Each structure stands twice: as structure tokens, then as C-alpha cells.
Amino acid sequence: MSCRDLSVQQFGATAEVVRMGKQRAFFSFQSVSMIVALGSYLVLNVGCALLMPIFPLLGLIGAIVINLVVLLFWRVRFALPLYVLVASPSVALSLSSGLLSRLYIGNMLFALIVCIWLVRVVLPQRKSGRVLLDRSLFVPLLCLMLVGFSSIIYSRLFPDPNVPYQYPHSNVSITLVNVSEMMILVGLPMFLAIVPGLVRSPRDAYLLLLAFVGVGILYALGSIFAAPLGLHSKEVILGVQRPEVFGADSSALGSLILLFGSLAMTQTLYAPHWRGRLIWGALSLLFCLGVIMSFGREAWIGLFLALFVMIALRTKNWSVLLVVLAPFVLLLVPGIADFFNPEKTYGSDRVKIWHDAITIWLKSPYMGVGAGNFQFFDRVYGSDKVGVAHNQYLQMLAETGIQGLLCLIWILVAVGAKALKSFNAARSPLGKSIALAYIGYYVSILFGGFFTGIFIPSAAAGGGTGPFVAASCRWLLFGLVLSIPIWDQEQPATPEKEMESASVTPLHS
């Protein structure tokens, strides 16, 4: 036997060993995946079983949802749409009282989605060196997490002797509040890595878009027909009782409908045929009416800002400002102008609340009073005692100090730049429309931040992890924008044709 033949045999033997090693690694990974999936399934179902005696209906609904997601574990494209359809509406239903009152079905679904993401995306690619999140976003987000955690530690080491770190009518501990706050700071940014990991094709993206629009229709119809449906909150403005749909009311409700409506509006702008434009246009009008009927003044202004930006970027004609500003003529109508008159409606109290936020910040100007702790300090040092600053920027300043506010501004700049870059780089109508929808909504976020904690809510907003679930749709939509380069294809086809021609990646097989 020649040396050449011997070398060929040795090479073949080596290749066989490598192949067998890969097979063993594959089966080992499959075993780990099955164990993790089965363990998650059992834990979540045991949790629902424990809830049954306390809240039978909610426990049953939770069990159905969890089992449905687990049954679709290997069809991961349905996990995020199901979360969108279930999480936000479930905020109106807490799991019980005490500790369980800080949890919602959306939290359980999020935990399951994280498990799916870890098993189906992170573990298989753990040796590929794939970056889960762009550094331009990861660095400021990590800085905010560290700043928030440091402010909590500082507040525990050096508590204010005048402040009772507890709720007046609840035995929920300050530790649970801190945990809820860290879940907000850590959990929300995880959507920016999870969504691009699970959305791998135009079909996945369009399915998630339809889920947004589907749940948005429920919110819009609930706002429009609040009177016959009896969906009213306790808030009244100029004799009008504001609607409350799935636990959201006022500007929070209007802002959420605007998020869903932004997707419908941009689909209208990019629809290639009259039939699509007609359908999406009708849905856009429905969402606009839903925002108006929410009677949230910040949401009204946010709607006009979003419309202006989306139409201007689509048409590349900034003179459209004259058309979009036409509705502001309505302010000349006495009855409508009264909604923005602080002498006839509440609104001037916001100035007093903002002054309270600055007063609270001055109690600990360097480290802040602690992320999520604004509610406790407001009871002692606030004059209006509403529990929140009604201002995203002042809330972050009071709770985490100057460094926290700088991190928030850094994140907002990075998010805006990334969204605009995604819009300019997108090639397909679907990619363009999704990126443009977020840009329009992003402008309303910047404006709305002066009146509420719209982007990064605080546990001070109450409801434990409720603010996390309520804000998750905003982060999930931006995660969808980050996924555009993965599945974006240059084709002038309609989204329906994109769905038909989309190939299924091994991740979803």
C-alpha cells in the first residue's frame, strides 16, 4: 500500500470520527432541549395548578395558554404572535392578591418565550460567535441596568429615615418592588435579542404584524363603543367618562392603540394595489378613531406627530405638514379647545407633580432615591402624592440620578438612529413599512415621555410587573425592526405574496 493510499484512509477515518462526534453532539443537544422544554412545561403547569384553588378561571386560562404555547414549541413562529394577542389584554387580570398580584399571564408567557429562545436560538449558536444585540444598543442598555441596580443597592444601604418603604394598604415588601423594577430594566431589552432570533422570514414578520393589528382592533373597538359595552374608567374630563379597555385608559390606552395603528397606516402607504390600500386604510381610520375616543390628550398630539413623520418620510415631501396640521384648526372650536385649557380641565397639576419630582431628586442627587422607589418618597415629600412623576425624564432623574437620565437619553438616541438606519436599508415593502411604523411611533414616544413613563416604565406605576407587560409591545415592535435585515428581500410583491414565497428556515422546521 502506497503512502498516498494510507493518507487517504487516515483522512477518511478522521472524517468519520468527526462526523460521529457531530452526531453525538447533535443528539446531546436534542436531549438538553427536550429536558429544558419538559422542565419548563411541568413548572408552568404546576404553577397553574396551584392557582386553581385561588382563582379557578384565571388558572384554567393560564393552563390553556401555556399548553398551547408548549404544543407549538417547535413552531416558534407562533410564540411571539400569541404573546402579543394575550399579554397586553391580560394586564387587567392579576393572578390573585399579595405576592401573586405582582404577576400576570404575560409574565408567564415571557418566561416561556425566553426558554424557547434559549433552546432554539442561543444554545445552537453558542459557538458561532453570533452577536445577539448590536453594541450601539447593548452598551447604553447595560449601563442603565447597572445604574438602576446601583441606585437600588444604595437606597438599601442608606435609606431615608423619613420614608416608609412600603405600601400603605399592602404587605408587599420593598424587596419585591426592587425585583419587579429589575425585571423591567432587564426584561424589556431582552425583546431586542429575542425577536430577531425568532423572526427569520417575511412570513414570520407578517404573522407578527397581523397579531399586532388583531389585538389593536379589540382595543380600538373597545374605546369607540365604550358606552354600550360599559368599558369606563373612573376618570372624567369635561363631563366625558374616559374608556378603560383591558386595564388601560386615558393616554396609556390611546398610545397603545397608536402603536397598533402605526402599522396599519404604513401598510396603507406601501400597499401596491387599491384593494390592499382600501382594507388597510379602513383599519387606519378605525385606529385613529380609537385614539381620539380614548380621550388622552397626549395620545391625540402623538397621533398627529406620527402621521406627519410617516407620511413625510414615505412621500419625501415635508410640505405634507400643511395637510397634517389641518386638524389643529379644530382647536379653534371652543368645545374642543377646552380639553387643552388648564383652567377648565386638569393639566396644570402636572407642573406641581414635576416640581415634586425635582424635590425628590434633590434628596439624593448623585445616586437617586432608587429605581422604582419614587412612589415611597412621593408620599412624604410630594405635594400632589400621585406616586409617579408623569414624566419619563424626571422619573428617571429622581430614581437613578443624573447618570440614569443620561443613559435614558443615550438609549433613545441609539434607538432612533437604529430605526432610521433600518428604514433606509430596508428593500422590501414589508420591511420599509415596519421600520416606518416604528419611526412614527418613536416620535410619539419622545413627546409622550414628557407626560408619562411610556418607554421605560417604573415599578412606581403600580401593579408590580404590570408596567413591564404594558410596555413590552413597544420593545417587541422595535425588536421586529431589528429583525428586518435577517429576512428582508427586495421584491415589489405584496405581503401576502411574500408569505407564499417565503422559505422556512431550519429554525422553524
Look at residue 230 in the predicted model and tell me its pLDDT.
Answer: 82
- Per-residue pLDDT band for 308 (boundaries 50, 70, 90) equals confident
- Is a pLDDT exceeding 80 seen at residue 418? yes
pLDDT tens figures, 346-394: 666 778 888 888 999 998 888 899 888 888 888 888 777 777 888 899 9
Look at residue 89 in the predicted model and tell me its pLDDT.
Answer: 86
Residue with cell 407564499: 500
Look at residue 68 in the predicted model and tell me its pLDDT.
Answer: 64
Neighbours of 444 (CB within 10 A): 25
Residue with cell 418566561: 111
- How far is residue 131's CA from residue 146's CA, in Å, rounded to a whole number? 21
Residue 117, judged by CB atoms within 10 A of its CB (0-12, 13-18, 19+), counts as: buried
pLDDT tens figures, 233-276: 777 766 677 888 887 887 888 899 999 999 999 999 998 888 98
Higher-scoring residue by pLDDT: 102, 453: 453
Share in percent of the chain as helix, strand, coil (round to 5): 70, 5, 25
Partners of 241 in the β-ladder: 236
Residue 78 CA neighbour count, 13 Å, CB half: 11
Q: Give, rounded to a whole angstrom, the gap between the first and last alpha carbons of the chain.
A: 46
- For the ranges 10-19, 38-47, 408-417, the maximum mean pLDDT occurs at 408-417
- Is a pLDDT exceeding 60 seen at residue 507? no
Q: Are 477 and 437 in contact (CB under 8 A)?
A: yes
Q: Are 465 and 180 in contact (CB under 8 A)?
A: yes
pTM for this entry: 0.81
- How far is residue 84's CA from residue 88's CA, in Å, rounded to a whole number? 7
Rounded mean pLDDT, 277-295? 92
- Is a pLDDT exceeding 80 seen at residue 486? yes
Higher-scoring residue by pLDDT: 320, 22: 320
Rounded mean pLDDT, 66-77? 67
- Residue 438 cell numbers, joined: 416604528
- Residue 168 cell numbers, joined: 400603605
Rounded mean pLDDT, 22-29? 45
Element (H, E) at 376: helix 374-381
In angstroms, the Cα distances linking 342 to 251, 273, 345 are: 17, 46, 5
Instruction: Tell me which residue of 452, 455, 453, 451 sits closest to 438, measured CA to CA.
Output: 455
DSSP 2-67: -HHHHHHHHHHHHHHHHHHHHHHHHHHHHHHHHHHHHHHHHHHHHHHHHHTTT-HHHHHHHHHHHH
According to DSSP, residue 246 is labeled T
Q: Which residues of 175-212 are buried (b: 16+ CB within 10 A; e: fewer)?
A: ebbbbbbbbbbbbbbbbbbbbbbbbbbbbbbbbbbbbb
**Domain segments of the chain as ranges:** 1-130, 131-163+176-489
- Per-residue pLDDT band for 467 (boundaries 50, 70, 90) equals confident
Neighbours of 67 (CB within 10 A): 14
Element (H, E) at 235: strand 232-237
DSSP 144-159: HHHHHHHHHHHHHHS-
Taking CA 372 as the corner, what is the angle to CA 368 and CA 375, rounded to the nearest 5 degrees?
95
Taking CA 11 as the corner, what is the angle to CA 6 and CA 15, rounded to the nearest 5 degrees?
150
Q: Residues 6 or more apart from 209 whose CB is under 8 A from it?
A: 263, 267, 430, 434, 480, 495
Higher-scoring residue by pLDDT: 308, 410: 410
Q: What is the CA radius of gyration of the chain?
A: 25
- Phi/psi for 231 (5° steps) reads -95, 75
- Per-residue pLDDT band for 395 (boundaries 50, 70, 90) equals very high
